[in-house]
Amino acid sequence: MIKPLKLALLGVVGLLSLSACSQGRRKVTDKAEVHFYKEDINQQSFGGLGVEWGAYEDTDKLIEGGWDLVLKHMDHLGAARIRLMINYDWFCQNFDDKGDFDKTNDTWTYNYTNKYAKNMIEILEYCQTHNIDVAFGAWNVIGTLGNDVWNMMDEVTSDIRWAKISADTLDFLVNKKGFTCIKWFVSSNEPNWLGAQGASKNFNNTYEKWAQGVKNVRKAFDEIGLQKVGIVGGDTTGFEGCEEYLLNISKGLKKEVADYGAHLYLSNIMVDRGQMYDGIVDLYSRIKKNDKRLGKTIQADIWEAGLRDGKTALDCQTLIGTANYAVRMTDYTLQALAAGINGICYWDFDDAMHFMYTNNSVTPKEWGMFSSLAEASAGAQELRPWYHTSSLLCHLFKKGNKILSPVMAEDDENQTFRSVATVSQDGKQGGFAAVNAGFKSVTKNFFLTEKVEGEQTYVYIFNENSYRLGDDGYIIPNYVIDKSINNEFKLEIPSSTAVVFSNERL
Residues forming the site for another protein (CB under 8 A) = 193-200, 237-240, 267-270, 272-273, 275, 308-313, 318-319, 321-322, 324-325, 358-361, 377, 379, 439, 495-496
- Rounded Cα gap, residues 382 and 275, in angstroms: 32
Of residues 151 and 275, the one with the C-beta less far from another protein: 275
Torsion of CA 461, 467, 468, 474, to 10 degrees: 100
Residue 232, C-beta contacts closer than 8 angstroms, at least 6 positions apart = 135, 137, 184, 185, 186, 187, 257, 258, 259, 261, 301, 303
As measured in angstroms, the least distance from the Cβ of 276 to another protein is: 10
Of residues 164 and 311, the one with the C-beta less far from another protein: 311
Give the three-class secondary structure for 410.
Answer: coil
Of residues 81 and 328, the one with the C-beta less far from another protein: 328
Backbone angles phi, psi at 63, to 5 degrees: -65, 160
Of residues 216 and 330, the one with the C-beta less far from another protein: 330
Q: Which long-range CB contacts under 8 A does 219-225 form with residues at least 24 apart?
A: 219/163, 220/163, 220/164, 220/166, 220/167, 221/166, 221/167, 221/170, 221/185, 223/167, 224/167, 224/170, 224/171, 224/175, 225/175
β-strand partners of 50: 81, 345
As measured in angstroms, the least distance from the Cβ of 248 to another protein is: 16
Alpha helices in 291-375 (DSSP H): 323-338
Residue 62 is given by DSSP the state B
Of residues 372 and 416, the one with the C-beta less far from another protein: 416
Of residues 277 and 432, the one with the C-beta less far from another protein: 277
Of residues 112 and 193, the one with the C-beta less far from another protein: 193
As measured in angstroms, the least distance from the Cβ of 361 to another protein is: 6
Closest CA to 155 of 115, 106, 116, 86: 106
Of residues 136 and 277, the one with the C-beta less far from another protein: 277
As measured in angstroms, the least distance from the Cβ of 288 to another protein is: 17
As measured in angstroms, the least distance from the Cβ of 317 to another protein is: 8
| Single-letter code of the amino acid located at 206 | T
- Which is it for the CA torsion 303, 40, 243, 252, positive or negative? positive
Cα distances (angstroms) measured from residue 370 to each of 5, 59, 66, 144 = 23, 15, 11, 29
As measured in angstroms, the least distance from the Cβ of 321 to another protein is: 4
Max CA-CA distance within the chain? 79
- Rounded Cα gap, residues 206 and 235, in angstroms: 14
Residue 313, C-beta contacts closer than 8 angstroms, at least 6 positions apart = none
Cα distances (angstroms) measured from residue 206 to each of 11, 147, 148 = 53, 21, 18
| In contact, 33 and 445? CB cutoff 8 Å | yes
Of residues 43 and 496, the one with the C-beta less far from another protein: 496
| In contact, 141 and 156? CB cutoff 8 Å | yes
Closest CA to 150 of 86, 107, 115, 206: 107
As measured in angstroms, the least distance from the Cβ of 185 to another protein is: 25
As measured in angstroms, the least distance from the Cβ of 437 to another protein is: 9
As measured in angstroms, the least distance from the Cβ of 194 to another protein is: 7
As measured in angstroms, the least distance from the Cβ of 322 to another protein is: 6
Of residues 355 and 446, the one with the C-beta less far from another protein: 355
Of residues 152 and 271, the one with the C-beta less far from another protein: 271
As measured in angstroms, the least distance from the Cβ of 359 to another protein is: 4
- Which is it for the CA torsion 256, 260, 261, 262, positive or negative? positive
